[in-house]
Amino acid sequence: MEKSKVKQTDISVIIPAHNASDYIERAIKSIITQTDMSWEIIIVENGSTDDTYIKSMKYAEKYSNINIFQSEKGVSKARNYGLKKATGKWICFLDADDYIYPDAFNEIYKYMEDESDLILFGHNSETHMVKGKCVKFDGNEEYQNLRCEMIKNPTQNMTVWGKLFKHQIIEKNKIEFDEQLELAEDSDFTFRYMQNASKALRITSQLYHYSKDNASTVRTYKAGSEEKYIKSLNHTKEYTIKDTKEIQEAYNQYIIANLLIILVHDIYCHENPESSKQRRNHLKKLVRENIFSEAIKNIKFSDCRNIRMIPALCLKLKMYFLTIIMIKIRVYQNTK
């Protein structure tokens, strides 16, 4: 008699957890309540000095589809370890301080199609889910336009959370997080994954809660972070060589978007002890770096019509005074 096949788990939720004692239970509970698709939770505690592991173990002991592992410190190492342990058809990355809204999987299930390679869904920092519609990108031109759109606005689109990645594509193409990168490593992963995919669904419903109630890596001032960004940008740029002209042009905007992140969150951050003159000199030195100077040189004036890219236009015209004013406005807006 032929043995019946065991149905594959729908979604593997990978949660890297480092000193996440205050949040980890909230993240776990947000998955436990999900219905309509089968799931497993893979928690990878990495180098915590609090009781993250103990709190996670309480749930691992209670639920057979919750597993906890330990890895060396580093979010990329934790996510890679989680990928090795995952058994689901789809991979969902959840940061330990974030959570999925109730009925999120139910909303995804309504639109899910097996032939899609990537499923995108919205996020917010509110207290509730907002429902939307679904858009398909199943033609080559449509899919490439989607890629360009995402690359141009990385802070909103290139994170690994807020997405479902097809496990088979990750395994077939040996895609993993580069453990040598300390910043923008998730954008690098998303970029390389999308090079190996061809169809996507965008569910405009906001299903993922992005928390602002903690000190994240991006929002915390750390002197010298630009060197880590430059390393990541140069690394990902190597993969654009085999891509289309449109993707390469979009990557110029990606580079400038990251430059603006450095200016807002580091150079002109309130916690930066440098004087005004030192910051201005720091800015000028930064834009002379090859990765940034080339992007500024190659950016088209038509690309700067979006309000997000106006500082890029000022940099292109060497209008540093106006650039600094706009950066300071963004810094102020981030503190509100």
Specify the pLDDT at position 306: 84
Specify the pLDDT at position 240: 96
Same-domain check for residues 91 and 171: yes
129 inside domain: yes
Specify the pLDDT at position 214: 58
Same-domain check for residues 107 and 244: no
pLDDT tens digits for range 7-65: 789 999 999 999 999 999 999 999 999 999 999 999 999 999 999 999 999 999 999 99
Same-domain check for residues 87 and 131: yes
Q: Which of 77, 74, 73, 45 is nearest to 59 (CA)?
A: 45
202 inside domain: yes
- For 5, 9, 115, 202, the CA distances from 2, given in Å and listed in that order, are 9, 21, 28, 40
Q: Where are the alpha helices (DSSP H) in the chain?
A: 24-32, 52-62, 75-85, 104-111, 140-152, 154-157, 167-172, 185-195, 225-240, 245-262, 276-287, 290-298, 310-316, 320-335
pLDDT tens digits for range 319-333: 999 999 999 999 988
220 inside domain: no
Give the span between the Cα atoms of 259 and 272, in whole angstroms: 16
38 inside domain: yes
Last-in-domain residue among 145, 175, 209? 209
Give the span between the Cα atoms of 168 and 88, in whole angstroms: 9
90 inside domain: yes
| 205 phi, psi to nearest 5 deg | -60, 140
pLDDT tens digits for range 64-123: 999 999 999 999 999 999 999 999 999 999 999 999 999 999 999 998 877 899 999 999
Query: Cα–Cα–Cα angle for 171, 91, 231, nearest 5°?
Result: 70
51 inside domain: yes
Same-domain check for residues 80 and 110: yes
> Looking at the 3D structure of the chain, how many domains does it have?
2
Last-in-domain residue among 153, 182, 209? 209
Same-domain check for residues 47 and 190: yes
Same-domain check for residues 22 and 113: yes
Specify the pLDDT at position 20: 97
Same-domain check for residues 195 and 249: no
pLDDT tens digits for range 265-284: 999 999 999 999 999 999 99
216 inside domain: no
Sequence-ordered list of residues with C-beta below 8 angstroms from that of 88, at least 6 positions apart, any chain: 8, 9, 10, 11, 12, 39, 40, 167
Question: E strand or H helix at 218, and its extent?
Answer: none
Specify the pLDDT at position 213: 63
- For 53, 218, 245, 272, the CA distances from 182, given in Å and listed in that order, are 23, 11, 28, 20
Q: Which two tokens stand for residue 206?
A: 């906001």
Same-domain check for residues 149 and 284: no
Q: How many residues does the chain have?
A: 336
Residue 189 has pLDDT above 60, yes or no: yes
181 inside domain: yes
Give the span between the Cα atoms of 221 and 262, in whole angstroms: 10
Specify the pLDDT at position 165: 98
Specify the pLDDT at position 9: 95
**Span 233-255, mean pLDDT?**
96
Same-domain check for residues 58 and 158: yes
Same-domain check for residues 135 and 53: yes
CATH code where residue 202 lies: 3.90.550.10
Same-domain check for residues 204 and 232: no
- Structural domain including 183 reads 11-209
Last-in-domain residue among 209, 244, 260? 209
**Span 127-144, mean pLDDT?**
94
Contact 105, 208 (CB under 8 A): no
Same-domain check for residues 204 and 229: no
